[in-house]
């Protein structure tokens, strides 16, 4: 069943009253369009870095601009520390952090199977499982120390890779297991159920667009789909249509406009960049519904994901400045802010 955004209910849980009040105060410190414009207007990386320090990223004043990844990762750790300190006992929000465990599992499996350097891809201090434990489990292929969902993901990824020898199979298998886990973890919570369905649907549509560009068949496409709200049969049927017609084929879904604009850009320029951005903006539009919650888990979830988007935008800006890109080009890639 296609997600019905207008029917999404917000939970009113008094246990979150204090946490919601604290989050509202933190929301006021999120970067706005005016902040991003100031960063865009900065003549160079140094000026943008100084401006960022004045916008609440105090650690920027202690580091060089080239060390931006360390500053952004420190900020991300602080966000999750805040989440864990505010979330009432038994609120079951660990699924937010568990997403990083699945990411780290991918990184270490690829390091082992493909000879890649894991240091570039891991985020130390993020997730719910220590990096050394994931690394050791992958090295020995003994999964008993990992949470069951990660053990299942690792086993599935190894089996897929042994069968195909395709590096992409690692990502495909782990993404599928991630969304199976998320679907179970958020069951019974309408706002988050819809959020996860949106994530899955948009991932499937982007994956299918890549498959179409590569000329892949239905057999391949069926393997890359994760469980979402759009029927797999309807999605696979898109491969038989011209990509320009996909928006019309899915006009009954909430994603028609995203596809219309994103796929037109793809057809014209051969790039998924706009589709990626519009997908992120669609998610942000949904997250903004959490502003209507008097109290409950939704404001906490929305704040964490809004902060992740903020860090993505800062990274886009700083990398653009570092590479001397015109501000118009940088601006095209910025995601919609929460505030």
Residues 69-128 have pLDDT tens digits of: 999 999 999 999 999 999 988 788 999 999 999 999 999 999 999 998 998 899 999 999
Contacts of 49-54 with C-beta under 8 Å, sequence gap 24+, read: 49/318, 52/314, 52/318
Residue 77 near residue 125 (C-beta atoms within 8 A): yes
**pLDDT tens for the 339 residues of the chain, in order:** 466 654 566 777 778 899 999 999 999 999 999 999 999 999 999 999 999 999 999 999 999 999 999 999 999 999 999 999 999 887 889 999 999 999 999 999 999 999 989 988 999 999 999 999 999 999 999 999 999 999 999 999 999 999 999 999 999 999 999 999 999 999 999 999 999 999 999 999 999 999 999 898 899 999 999 999 999 999 999 999 999 999 999 999 999 999 999 999 999 998 999 999 999 999 999 999 999 988 899 999 999 999 999 999 999 999 999 999 999 999 999 999 999
Instruction: Say what the pLDDT of residue 92 is.
Output: 85
Residue 187 · residue 95 · CB < 8 Å:
no
The DSSP annotation for 106-135 comes to HHHHHHHHH---GGGT--TT-SSS-HHHHH
Nearest in space to 98 (alpha carbons), one of 123, 119, 128, 124: 128
Q: What is the pTM of this model?
A: 0.94
- Which residues are CB-neighbours of 149 under 8 A, at least 6 positions away? 98, 177, 180, 181
Report whether 122 contacts 104 (CB < 8 A).
yes
d(CA 106, CA 135): 11
Yes or no: say if 300 and 87 are a contact pair by the CB < 8 Å rule: yes
Which pLDDT value is given to residue 6?
A: 47
| Whole-angstrom distance, CA of residue 334 vs CA of residue 331 | 5
Q: What is the DSSP letter of 227?
A: S
Q: What share of the chain is helix, strand, coil (3-state, %, to 5)?
A: 75, 0, 25
Name which of 196, 160, 198, 203 is nearest 181 in CA terms: 196
Q: Which two tokens stand for residue 13?
A: 């849980």
- Are 208 and 200 in contact by the 8 Å Cβ rule? The answer is no
List the chain domain ranges: 5-333
Q: State the pLDDT at residue 306.
A: 98
């Amino acid at each position: 069943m296609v997600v019905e955004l207008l029917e999404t209910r917000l939970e009113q849980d008094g246990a979150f009253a204090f946490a919601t009040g604290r989050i509202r105060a933190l929301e006021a410190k999120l970067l706005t369009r005016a902040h991003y414009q100031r960063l865009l207007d900065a003549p160079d990386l140094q000026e943008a870095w100084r401006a960022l320090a004045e916008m609440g990223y105090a650690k920027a004043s202690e580091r060089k601009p080239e060390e931006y990844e360390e500053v952004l990762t420190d900020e991300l750790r602080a966000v999750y520390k805040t989440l864990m300190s505010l979330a009432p006992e038994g609120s079951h929000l660990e699924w937010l952090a568990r997403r990083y465990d699945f990411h780290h599992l991918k990184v270490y499996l690829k390091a082992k199977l493909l000879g890649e350097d894991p240091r570039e891809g891991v985020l130390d201090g993020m997730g719910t499982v220590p990096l050394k434990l994931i690394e050791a489990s992958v090295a020995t292929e003994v999964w008993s120390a990992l949470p069951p969902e990660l053990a299942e993901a690792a086993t599935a990824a190894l089996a897929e890779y042994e069968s195909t020898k395709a590096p992409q199979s690692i990502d495909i298998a782990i993404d599928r297991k991630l969304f199976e886990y998320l679907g179970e973890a958020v069951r019974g919570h309408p706002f988050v159920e819809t959020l996860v369905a949106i994530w899955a649907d948009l991932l499937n549509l982007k994956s299918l667009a890549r498959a179409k560009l590569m000329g892949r068949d239905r057999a391949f496409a069926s393997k890359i789909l994760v469980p979402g709200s759009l029927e797999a049969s309807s999605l696979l049927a898109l491969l038989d249509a011209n990509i320009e017609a996909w928006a019309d084929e899915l006009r009954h879904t909430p994603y028609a406009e995203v596809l219309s604009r994103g796929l037109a850009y793809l057809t014209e320029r051969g790039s998924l960049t706009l589709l990626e951005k519009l997908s992120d903006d669609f998610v942000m539009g949904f997250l903004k519904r959490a502003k209507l919650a008097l109290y409950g888990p939704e404001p906490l979830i929305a704040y964490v994901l809004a902060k992740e988007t903020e860090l993505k935008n800062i990274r886009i800006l700083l990398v653009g400045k570092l590479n001397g890109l015109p501000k118009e080009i940088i601006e095209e890639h910025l995601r919609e802010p929460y505030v």
